[in-house]
Each structure stands twice: as structure tokens, then as C-alpha cells.
Structure 1
Amino acid sequence: MRILVVEDEKTLCETIAKGLRLDGYEVDTCFDGEDAWDMILSESYDLVILDLNLPGMDGMKVLQNIRMKDTETSILILSARGQLQDKIDGLDGGANDYLCKPFHFEELEARVRSLTRRRVVQNNLILECGELSLDTKARTMFARGIELSLTRKELGLLEYLMLHQERPVSQEELIQHVWDGSVDSFSNSIRVHISSLRKKLRATLGYDPITNRSGQGYLIGGVSE
């Protein structure tokens, strides 16, 4: 899952990003409203964590701009504006959630989990697909009840495939949602990580649950032919 954190307090912004990266998310950061809007226009994010008091462009204006073109991306307002009317304005403006500063990082983590699951109507902390089970909170993966040792990227790839197991997922989509902005669509990195992940799954399951659909992408579920 790919997240954009927009916060003009640079230390706080980087602290949030670091914590979310440890949770397995790919995180981009931005300290200015206008820069944030440019990034949102050029990149694809599953969630935007948005401060309201921003230089360049106010956070409410960023929110309005997003919702004029995009009703799907989840938006979590994280702001020191804690009055009831501020929350009402933010939620009525199209935000999915509103968290006031100061806050506990554990609560932010829980809200992020809820919002990223909500995009695919996934209400449980545990993702399941056949003999695979992924705990999205503990960041642990089991195959036939055996815990697998996966890298952060491998776990991110598997999580995204399991969240969208009803359809093939293209390499371009995986790059957009599992990698940060430093990887381009011509990178061989994704193939390397997918190959390593499939070997680990095959070693435990005895088969590869990830199949290639020609011209469409990767599909998880079932025994590969």
C-alpha cells in the first residue's frame, strides 16, 4: 500500500513516515500544499494523510481538489484544528477520517489499517487466500500454518495481491502501490522480488499460488497449471 504524508512540520512528517514504513507501507512525504497537489496528480496513492495548516495551498483546498477528480483515494486529515466545526467541514469536504493532534501513533496505525482495508471492503485484520493467511497488524504471513520469512517488499506484494485476489494485477499497478516514487516502470526490481516470493511460497505449499495472466498481470489463488 502506498501512502502520501502531507505535513509541514518536517520532523513530525518524517517520524510518521518512518513508523509507517516499519509497518510495511511505502510512504512518500511532502511539506507543502502545492507540492502535494502536484504529487497527487502525477502519482497513485491508496491513502493521503493530510494536514490542514499548510504553506502554498491550504489542506482544505488540497482536499477539495482531490475530491473534484478522485472519489476513491482515502484521505485522513491529521490536524491541530480540533473544533467540532473543523471536523464537520473536513468530513463533509470528502475526508474519510479525521484525527486531531496531538495523537498516539498506535491510533494513527489503526486508522490507516481501517482506511486501506476499506478500499477493498476488507473488514478483517487477517487476509486469507486458499492456504495463505496474512495478519495485517502483526505483519506476519503463514502458509499451511507455517510462518514464512518474507522481506518487507515481498510482504507488501503479497498483501496487495491478496487484497485484489479477484482479478489480475499488472506490474505497473504493483509499482504504483507497493513501491515508492524512486522506482520507474522499466525497473526489473519487481520481477526479482516476485520471483523470490514465489520460490518461498512454492517451497512451503508445494505449488505456486501466483499465476501469470498474459497481458494482464499476476493473479493469486489456486494451484498454478
Structure 2
Amino acid sequence: MKALLVEDDIQLNTTVKKFLQLQNYNIVSIFDGEEAINIIDEERFDVYIIDINLPNISGLEIVKYIRKKDLISPIIIMTASLEVNNFVDAYDNGCSEYIKKPFHLKELQIRMQHLLKNNSSDIFVVNDRIKYDFANEELKIDNATIRLRKKVNRVLQILLKNINHTVKTEEIISYVWENEIKESYPLRQLVADLRKEFNFDKNYIISQPSVGYKFETDSNS
């Protein structure tokens, strides 16, 4: 398992890194928020461990950035803060778990194991006809593999990870286009292309005018 550790306290960073290496984790440890953003652009991680208060770019901003690229991998926030708003903001923006400083290293290990165990299945089952394999980025309908273009695929990913909940248009665009300049090819066309793949008994992809879209499992055609 490959983990990214972002903590500006040198002693804590070193201690956590050494401990997790003994647990056979492949650890990349850094001390700065801006450096974290750079490495997230270059590499993929199975789990993220991030301090809230970091130089240059805060941990909360890093969480938001990760979720634009990676909807699956768990994120653990480390914090000494008692402010409820920090926890609310962290969870609202994609944090999976938080751990309060100071903490026992064994506690961190247990939390990581729990999150990774729950995250071990990459197969998202919508119903007995529709499955999505996040690891291989493949949609299967009635056991037939459907090949989707990259951006259509990413539209489906963000909708499935928020199933039965509306995802705002700007959030979808941010995830689908990543760091690219948005093309003239509009989001509504990507959604139309995706809908063609679900052209059977239900209208799964619901438009919320001026708000966004959702993948709804119990909608009627």
C-alpha cells in the first residue's frame, strides 16, 4: 500500500513514517502543502494522511484538490484543533476520517486498516444489471463491457460516488476536466452520450436545472 504523509512537524513526520514503514507501507512523506499538490499531480496513492495546518496550502485545500482527481482513496486528517468547523469542512470536502493529536501510532494503524479494508472492493454494484469497476474504469451492463471515452467515464465516476445525490455542475466540470482548460465540448453533451449507454427501462441520470446531475437508482422512465 502506498501512502502520502503530509505533516510539517519534522519529529512527528519522521515518527509516523518509520512506524508505517515497519507495517510494510510504502510512505512518501513531505512537509509542505504546495509540495503535496505537486506530488499528487504526479503519483497515485492508496491512502492520504494530512495535517490541517500546513505551510503555503492548508490541509483542507489539499483534501479538496485530491477529491477532484481521486474519489476513492481514503483521506485521514490529523489535527490538534478543537474547532468543530474544521471537522465539518473536512468531511464536507471528502475527508474519510480524522485523528486527534496527540495520538498513539497503533490508533492510526487501526484507522488506516479499517478504511482500506472498506475500500478494498473496486466493483460498484448499482443493481443486477449494472456494475462499474473503478480499478479498471469499466462499465458493465448485463455482463457486457462498455467502453467509454475518458471524460464520459469521469462523469459516470463522480455521479456513482455520489449516487442518489445531486452533484453540482461546477464540481462535475472540475473533476472531469481536472487541471485542463474546459473544452467547448459541453458537459451536457457528455451526459447525453452517457445516457445512451443506459437506454433501457429506467432514466438513471437525472438533470437538476441550473444545479447539476445525479445518478438515481430508483427513478422511473
TM-score by length of 2: 0.53
- Is 1:28 paired with 2:28? yes
Partner of 1:81: 81
Name the aligned partner's letter for residue 46 of structure 2.
Answer: D
**Counterparts in 2 of 1:30-109, with a 5 A limit?**
30-109=30-109
Paired residues, what number?
Answer: 122
Superposition RMSD in Å: 1.4
Name the aligned partner's letter for residue 64 of structure 1.
Answer: K
Q: Which runs of 5+ in 1 are unaligned?
A: 123-225
Partner of 2:177: none
Name the aligned partner's letter for residue 75 of structure 1.
Answer: I
How far off is 1:82 after superposition? 2.5
Q: Distance in 2 between matches of 1:48 and 1:97?
A: 10
Partner of 1:9: 9
The superposition leaves residues 67-108 of structure 1 with CA deviations (integer Å, 9 ceiling, x where unpaired) of: 122211210001112322221211111000011111111111
SS, match of residue 56 in structure 2: coil
| Amino-acid identity (%) | 36
SS, match of residue 85 in structure 2: helix
Q: Distance in 2 between matches of 1:57 and 1:84?
A: 20
Partner of 1:111: 111
SS, match of residue 15 in structure 2: helix
Q: Distance in 1 between matches of 2:118 and 2:45?
A: 14
How far off is 1:8 after superposition? 0.3
Name the aligned partner's letter for residue 8 of structure 1.
Answer: D
The superposition leaves residues 118-157 of structure 1 with CA deviations (integer Å, 9 ceiling, x where unpaired) of: 22149xxxxxxxxxxxxxxxxxxxxxxxxxxxxxxxxxxx
**Counterparts in 2 of 1:166-181, with a 5 A limit?**
none
The superposition leaves residues 188-213 of structure 1 with CA deviations (integer Å, 9 ceiling, x where unpaired) of: xxxxxxxxxxxxxxxxxxxxxxxxxx
Partner of 1:215: none
Partner of 2:160: none
TM-score by length of 1: 0.52
How far off is 1:40 after superposition? 0.9
Higher RCO (C-alpha under 8 Å, 6+ residues apart): 1
Partner of 2:132: none
How far off is 1:66 after superposition? 1.0
SS, match of residue 95 in structure 1: coil
Q: Which runs of 5+ in 2 are unaligned?
A: 123-221
